[in-house]
Every structure is written in structure tokens, then in C-alpha cells.
Amino acid sequence: MAKKPALGRGLDALITMDEVTTSGSSSISEVPLSQIQPNPDQPRRVFDEEALRELAVSIKQLGVIQPITLRKIDDDTYQIIAGERRYRASMIAQLETIPAYVKTAEDENVMEMALIENIQREDLNSIEIALAYQNLIETYSLTQERLSERIGKKRTTIANYLRLLKLPAEIQMAIRDKKIDMAHARTLVTIENPEVQLDVYQHILNEDLSVRKVEEYVRAINKGETLEEIIQEKEVVDLVKKGKIQKATPEEFDVLKKHLSKFFESKVQLTCNEKGKGKITIAFNSDEDLERIITKFDQLRR
């Protein structure tokens, strides 16, 4: 796991790194909490209440180690650029003031600065980042290329985040709540039908599917198979692996034969006597066809 930046690292370093500039000056002041208001365009939407309480306890004991960053709205009002989590914890700790960098910044730069700090600190989930990118693009008429230049992220990275917003709301919430990760979600995006996306998403949760397995499912779906067919084929493969097909009923043998034929892409025959003994015959038409079938068996052993 990558090491997170130390608490003492200021926003000025992040601004320099990502070439975000502001007009005016900055200074550190003790600002009354009563004069501070959150930024309505803050990209971070989810705050862990338990983590806030833990931070509040630390602030009571040690104070606010790193100042938050504000911009001055008028003589008695400041808006948060970065540090809303520290602001909220300070409120819980019942502080009267909080140390803050007070900056002069344009509206566009305020959101960029908040976005950059949160991303650098890995505080945002994938959906929050995607919404923040979309907000910047729409509000300031930016192209993905221009946004890429402004925040120091590759255009393909920005495009991948924005694609997440095409997913159904239930899946977006699951990403936000870390029920599935971004790699799962990026695979689901390639399915055109939202209902199928939701079906595969539920199957991911039910079976705790790996990203690799989801990619296999999605490839099959995009070739025209239904999720039900894919699941049935998996059940057949599991039966073959476990050696349990000899106990199947005649009707189940028909289903097994159909799915084995589909899996091996070749004609399959099943025979079974009353004692449950029998054999499976797989037809092939050439050396290349046999090699293809052997490759299928290799897949079963994985």
C-alpha cells in the first residue's frame, strides 16, 4: 500500500506540483469556526462519522496540526478550499477557532484546489472523483484534454472515471460504498444494457467474483450469451471438476450434454448404466480441433 502524505505537508506544495495558481496572497490565521462555511462544490461527499470522532479526540489533545485552507468571501465570512474534515472534527471538539491559510482564489481554482488535495491524499472515492471531473468540465466548459492539463492527470484516466457515471445509480452507490472496486465497475461499463449490468453486479456480490472472472462473464455476454447461460455452464464445469455428473437424472443428462457441447464447441455424447457408470465422448475433426479441446481442459484445471 502506498504511503500517504504526512500531515505536515501543506496545500502550497500540492498547488506547486499540479500547477494550480491563485491570485492574491495567503497567510496563516486563527479563524473563528462560526465564520467558516463549507464549499458547496466540495468534491468529497462522504465523511466517516466514526473517523471524525476519532480525529476530534486527537484535536482536543494535540490541536489542529495542519491548518485548513480558506478563501475570504467578505469581512466576516470564509469558505473552505481544503480541510473540511478537519473543520468538522474541530466543530465536534467544540473549538472556537481553527488555524487556516487564508487565500484569494477564483471560483474555478477553488474547486481545482479542493479536488487536487483530496486526490493527492486518496480521500475521495471513485464516484466523487468522477462527479468532480464532470462538474469542472461542465461548469467551466473544459475539454477532457484541458482538464487533464489543469489537474495533472492523464486524459484516459479522466475518461475512465467519467464512464462510471453511465452506470445505474445502484452500482454507483456500490462503488461509493466500496462494495465493488473500480476495476469491477470499469468492466461493467462495457455492457450496454443497464438491466444486465445490474444482474451481473448482483452476481458479483452473491459470488464474490474476482475482476478476472467478471471480465470472462462480460466477454461472453458481449458475444451474445445470457448471464443465466453463463452460470449454467459454470455449474456444469464445476460438476465435471467434482466428478458428480454420474448421479444426474436422464433430464439432467440432456442439459449436461447440451452445455458440455456448448463449452467444448463440439458434439458430446454421454452414456450411463444403472450403476451410474458411463463415459463422455467428445468428437473432434482435426489435430487443430483436438488441440483446441485440450486447451479447454487446461482451462478446467485453473
Q: Which residue has the cell 478563501?
A: 71
Q: Which of 132, 124, 193 is nearest to 162 (CA)?
A: 132
Cell digits of residue 43 = 468534491
Active site residue 265: no
Of 19, 50, 54, 84, the active-site residue reads 84
280 forms beta bridges with 270
Cell digits of residue 218 = 462480460
What is the C-alpha to C-alpha distance for residues 208 and 205, in angstroms, rounded to an integer? 5
Q: Is the dihedral of CA 92, 45, 29, 71 positive or negative?
A: negative
Residue environment code for 224-258, b if the CB has 16+ CB neighbours within 10 A, otherwise e: eeebeebebbbebbebbeeeebeebeeeebeebbe
What is the C-alpha to C-alpha distance for residues 117 and 123, in angstroms, rounded to an integer? 9
Q: How many residues does the chain have?
A: 302
Angle, CA of 291, 296 and 302, to the nearest 5°: 130
CA dihedral 87, 89, 95, 100 (to 10 degrees): -30
**Catalytic residue ranges:** 84
